[in-house]
Amino acid sequence: MQRDLRFAPLGIPTILTIFAASLAACAPAGAATVTVDWSGGGDHETIQDGVDAASPGDTVLVAPGVYAGPSNRAIRFNGKDLSLVSMAGAVLTTVNCGWHDRGFIFDGGESSAALVRGFTVENGLKAGGGGAMLCVGSSPTIEECAFAHCAADSGGAFLMNACYSTVTDCDFRHNGAAGRGGAVYLASSDPTFSGCEFSGNDAEEGGAVYCDESSPMISSCSFSDNEASISGGALHLDWSSPYFQRCTLSGNTAEYAGAVYCFWSTPVLFRCTLVANTGVHGGAMWCSVQDAAAVLEKSIIAFSEIGSAVDGFAWFLCSDVFGNEGGDWIYPIEDQLDTYGNFAQDPLFCGDHNPEFAYTLHEDSPCAGENNPSCGGVGAWGVGCPSSTGIDGGGHAETTWGGIKALYR
């Protein structure tokens, strides 16, 4: 006999119970799970109440919804290394600061064991700095979060001072600073950013990030359409030594350095792609002096719409500089062309032949590893579309670059 099975949909309290049980099974002995549900189905209705009730090592599990009001902003862990985790991720779980305060404060010496995962923080506002989060002398781990429409004098989303956080797979969108760091302001901090996206942020200096005596590690991140009214459309570096790996900087704008502004700083950019940036003084980069210059290895600077590739000095190894409106290998970097593997050829981006990954390369790109055996792959991306030969009747630059520009208009 066939049985007719029908299942009723699970409510949030039931889902919380199941999810809490699964977390408890994986948690260290003695750790507890505290649940938060704005609708009343958990142990607490506000995030701060849940955090206050938890002990170090516990998990505070938050149901989907919009969390607003005094106990859902300026959230403090108060020195406790615990995990604050949303059940349904950032798309469905929002901390709405309502332009009254920032979202989180870490100033109690929290270590990397303090975790925030899966929240959107929006509409944060703080005059001093850090519209979404303030981190001072602490190192919380931030994962899979989004920070949007937050504002401050410095660090529209984050202000980090002596902070060594790891920030992974987070989005920083449309944040703004009146002064420095549209999304992030770093002061004497060495955090790690991995897999993050910075888009549409703005400030006077450092449209996305401002580094002051800081050495962050930034890998597999994208910086697009950020703007600074003065310097560093994407990043402003002041006495700093960041390391960039496989990052893409595209469509950023400033008067000085469309993408990266270096003042007495020594950034290293390894396998990065800087494309379609705009700067009157340095379409992609502005670097102050030779003794504190940027180093670009296996990187691409291409198609700056205004300005030369670099204003000032930078060291290049196995890099392609091509198609920049104000010039490519010009003084004082002209002597580096055709040395140390450097070249000037159309990188042949896929553009409209791979719209989702526009800065991948045609198979016949000079930046593809198989076509450049002495250096290997150049730029942040590998091959993403077939050979350009015959696709556009031989007009490679017109098709690849024209297609790319059309995608971002």
Distance CA 84, CA 76 (A): 11
- Pairwise CA distance, residues 217 & 222, whole Å: 14
Q: What is the pLDDT of residue 29?
A: 52
Give Cα separations from 255 to 204, 292, 303, 344, 364 (angstroms). 10, 21, 17, 25, 35
pLDDT at 196 over 80: yes
- The pLDDT tens digits for 304-352 are 999 999 999 999 999 999 999 999 999 999 999 999 999 999 999 999 9
Q: How many CB atoms lie within 10 A of CB 112?
A: 13
Beta carbons of 285 and 278 less than 8 angstroms apart? no
Q: Residue 5 carries which DSSP code? A: -
User: CA-to-CA distance for 241 and 219, rounded, in angstroms?
Assistant: 14
- The answer to whether 184 and 161 have CB atoms below 8 angstroms apart is no
Q: Which CATH architecture has domain 31-344?
A: 3 Solenoid (2.160)
The β-bridge partners of 148 are 122, 173
Give the residue extent of every domain in the chain. 31-344, 345-409
- Within 10 angstroms of residue 405's Cβ, the number of other Cβ atoms is 16
Strands 209-212 and 222-224: unpaired
CB 342 within 8 A of CB 319: yes
270, two tokens: 């390894």
What is the residue-averaged pLDDT of the chain? Answer: 91
Confidence of residue 28 (pLDDT cuts 50, 70, 90): low
- CB-CB contact of 335 with 314 (8 Å): no
What is the average per-residue pLDDT within 99-112? Answer: 98
* pLDDT class of 397 with cuts at 50, 70, 90: very low
